[in-house]
Structure 1
Amino acid sequence: MALEKPYQDIPGTIIFDAEQSRKGYWLNQFCMSLMKAENRERFKANERAYLDEWPMTEEQKQAVLARDLNWCMRTGGNIYFLAKIGATDGKSFQYMAASMTGMTQEQYAQMMINGGRSIEGNRFSGERN
């Protein structure tokens, strides 16, 4: 029996729940492997070969290769695990967050300094007037 998930009605939001956790288990395990220097080096030397050592879906592998974090999240990735990919690439978390919004790092930083993203368009779909 499926649980009711009212949070699925928030536009542009992926909630990392039990279902997402199961879907992204191997993707997130791959990300955690990047905490070890030797694994980061192996990944950087041949990304595809290293990814093929993990029982991830082809879609997950393509999302990682594309460095498309939104795609990674849709396939079960958790942003805290995915941050290991950015760190391996020498990218800051701020850079990664900006890439997920379509902004430059500078635009993203200024938005956050100004108080964050507007609530407009980010409410539950059912709350719209």
Structure 2
Amino acid sequence: MSDPRQDIHAYLAEFDDIPGTRVFTAARARKGYWINQFAMSLMKPANRDRFKADERAYLDEWSISEEAKEAVLARDYNRLLDLGGNVYFLSKLFSTDGISFAEAVSTMTDMTFPEYREMMMRGGRSPEGNRSIKGNY
């Protein structure tokens, strides 16, 4: 295997080994550009109103894949992250829906919001068993 310090792609691929983590790389940014532009458009009240009035019609105005449109409509945030969405941009969608960042993020886990909130109040997810998909740690 090549030295990760010399091969940026190998270095970034190592992040894929962290369970439940999607590092927002330049490749993801390119892949999710239009998802993130859509999400940022929701900063404007008029756009939020248009989106809430007819979500599908508003999404159809964007150069977003059908898969991404379906993920937005289903509020499948993990799928949106896989498609290049950035959680901080997607927070505009959370806000449009009237839910907190923490509540939205809890839907990306296998926990209920109260369980997620309690876990975070206790200091967050334990690193034990969560350092490597390969199980080396």
Work out whether the TM-score is over 0.5: yes
Task: Give aligned-pair identity as a percent.
Answer: 55
Match status 1:61 vs 2:69: yes
Alignment check: 8 A CA contact 2:129 2:135 kept = no
TM-score (norm 2): 0.88
Letter in 1 for 2:136: R
Letter in 2 for 1:97: V
- Report the Cα offset of residue 121 of structure 1: 2.4
Provide the C-alpha distance between the structure 2 equivalents of 1:75 and 1:89, rounded to a whole number of angstroms. 21
Q: 1:29 aligns with which of 30, 37, 44?
A: 37
Q: Tell me, which stretches of 5 or more residues in structure 1 are unaligned? A: none
Letter in 2 for 1:46: D
Q: 2:93 aligns with which of 85, 96, 101?
A: 85
1:50-70 deviation per Cα after TM superposition (whole angstroms, max 9, x unaligned): 000000111111110000111
Provide the C-alpha distance between the structure 2 equivalents of 1:49 and 1:18, rounded to a whole number of angstroms. 29
Provide the C-alpha distance between the structure 2 equivalents of 1:99 and 1:9, rounded to a whole number of angstroms. 22
Correspondence for 1:3: 9
Match status 1:128 vs 2:136: yes
Q: Which moved more, 1:115-124 or 1:72-81?
A: 115-124
Correspondence for 2:4: none
TM-score (norm 1): 0.93
Provide the C-alpha distance between the structure 1 equivalents of 2:127 and 2:110, rounded to a whole number of angstroms. 17
Q: Tell me, which stretches of 5 or more residues in structure 2 are unaligned? A: 1-6
How many residue pairs align between the two structures?
129
Provide the C-alpha distance between the structure 1 equivalents of 2:80 and 2:52, rounded to a whole number of angstroms. 18
Match status 1:18 vs 2:26: yes
Alignment check: 8 A CA contact 2:17 2:134 kept = yes
SS in 2 for 1:97: helix
Root mean square deviation of aligned Cα: 1.6
Provide the C-alpha distance between the structure 1 equivalents of 2:124 and 2:28, rounded to a whole number of angstroms. 26
